[in-house]
A = this chain, B = another copy of it.
Amino acid sequence: MELLKQRILREGVNLGHGILKVDSFINHQVDPALMLAVGGALAARFAHLGANKIVTAEISGIAPALTTGLALGIPVVYARKSKPVTMHPNTMTASAPSHTKGVMTELMVSPEFLGPRDHVLIIDDFLARGETIRALVSLVSRSGAQLMGIGAVIEKRFEGGRTSLADLGVPIETLAVITSMDNGKIEME
């Protein structure tokens, strides 16, 4: 997605250790028009799969998941990281490490909103090592829902997430692929 790649080259900051700061349009400030275009592009790649639900992880997955859901006309469930009092007692839980926060986080989904009747797309902001997405896959699988595809806005291919998720046998679609962040550069496919 050319618009997105240009934005990454213009505003993305390589903080070293593979960490890409895109806080000016995705992770702290969000550009709604860009996000709508991102959602439209992801939706176009998955439209033929007939999914009826999107699953994402709070926090930064919410914006691209919402616009993808808007384009496909299907609801979005965001896995929670801390349990509000409104949440169902029999929550499904999976763990994933957060490399930008340096801690393990739990991801929780209520069985009220994910179950055997669902055909699910997982959408997140980044596909890096694939650990958050793997945790979401485990929630989808535990709920009895069927995983149809995985999408992310930005892929850091050099971190190997795509390879590690290949065994799932579902399409993996990303809109900007970063192949290297060595020597302070941001190289894209």
Chain A: residues with CB nearer than 8 A to chain B? Answer: 13, 15, 19, 21, 23-25, 27-33, 35-36, 58-59, 62-63, 66-67, 69-70, 73-78, 80, 82-87, 100-102, 109-110, 112-113
Contact = CB atoms under 8 A, between A and B. Distances in A.
A28 B69 contact: no
A82 B101 contact: yes
A83 B63 CA distance: 19
> How many copies, total?
2
Contacts of A100: 84-86
B112 A23 contact: yes
Contacts of A25: 75
A115 to B, nearest CB: 12
Contacts of A30: 62, 66, 69, 75-78
